[in-house]
Homo-oligomer: A and B are copies of this chain.
Amino acid sequence: MLPDINRLKIFYDIYTTRSVVAAARQANITPSAISQQLKKLEVEIKTPLFTRLHKKLVPTGEADRLFAIVNPFLHDLEAGLRTINQARTKPSGQLRVGAPTEFGKAFFPGIFSSFRKKYPEVTFSLTLGDPSVLLSMVRRGTLDFALVDVFLTQSRVHGDLGIYSIEPIIDEEVVLACSKNYCESALGNDFSFKRLIAGEFISYQPDAMALRSWFRHHFRKVALHPKIVMTVDSLQAVIACIKHDLGMGIIVSHMAYDDIRKGRIVTVATSRKEIINRISLVQLQDKVPSLTDKTFQAHFKAAMQKAGVLKKFSGHGDGF
């Protein structure tokens, strides 16, 4: 059905130059080869493309139509390859990264912005989502890499983790927090299970998964019916609610660093260590990272380092 596509390039050379000899020079082969290729192409598509006039080739209407198809393609191809190739010396092109919803919303806009100041040829596509979604996108090649809470999913990821390279980047401290006010008036500074469970809570989802796992971790008990006074699927919003004395909520400590340091927000401490949410950089094990990948990842890690995530509150931050 389709002709030999290389011949179309030769056709292009002939069409643009209107000459076999000129086309041969352009293609760095002999006129004879050009002539033969053109003939074969005409046989393949069963249509004459040029009327042979002495020392001249006059394109037929079919040649015009074919050229109209081939010409833009060859230009697109050349431009595309130039772009692709230039990405080997200078970061450029689109970077497709995935991140957990809250984490992504909080950090990436700023990181993207600062990165693009250095490398304006790079564009981004940020996908926010659950680990399982992000991992499968990485596996399908839809994402170049993703930041993922691997610990949370490790077990229930379909397919095996062996195909990924997983590099821990930061450990988020997951804490139950409330305002200083609330801590004194509602809890009387008492962090016992009984006292806590009787309080009010702000949750991300109606099922209060995060809350339940916090209680499971810290008290080995299930918080049967926490009194959810507010449900909002945004970390920033939960922090704001806490500050307005609405109740207690699960937050990531470094996201409210200043408020905690200055005592406006209090984290509920128990005898057990805090839950650590390990966020890792996940990419395909066998993928050779592009220059753009590597450059951005370095930039990202530096930014995380600089933000000093976690280390301020506990000691188990630097992972492996």
A interface with B by C-beta (< 8 Å): 1-6, 8-9, 45-48, 51-54, 58-66, 68-70, 73-74, 76-78, 80-81, 83-85, 87-88, 93-96, 139-141, 144, 163, 284, 286-288, 290
Contact = CB atoms under 8 A, between A and B. Distances in A.
Contact of A58 (B52, B65, B76, B141): B141
Contact of A284 (B4, B53, B80, B84): B53
Contacts of A4: 6
B45 A66 contact: no
A9 to B, nearest CB: 6
A160 to B, nearest CB: 10
A83 B66 CA distance: 10
Contact of A6 (B5, B66, B139, B144): B5
A-B interface, 5 closest residue pairs, ranked by CB to CB distance from nearest: A58-B141, A73-B73, A51-B287, A5-B5, A69-B80
Nearest to A47: B84
A35 to B, nearest CB: 16
Contacts of A5: 5-6, 8-9, 77
B288 A48 contact: yes
A122 to B, nearest CB: 12
Contacts of A95: 61
Q: List the number of copies, as a whole number.
A: 2
Most buried by B among A1, A51, A95: A51
17 contacts: A2-B9, A2-B74, A2-B81, A4-B6, A5-B77, A46-B85, A47-B87, A51-B284, A52-B286, A53-B284, A53-B286, A58-B139, A58-B284, A62-B290, A68-B80, A70-B77, A73-B77
A83 B61 contact: no
A73 B78 contact: no
Contact of A51 (B2, B84, B286): B286
A282 to B, nearest CB: 13
A137 B139 CA distance: 57
A95 B60 CA distance: 11
A76 B65 CA distance: 11
A145 to B, nearest CB: 11
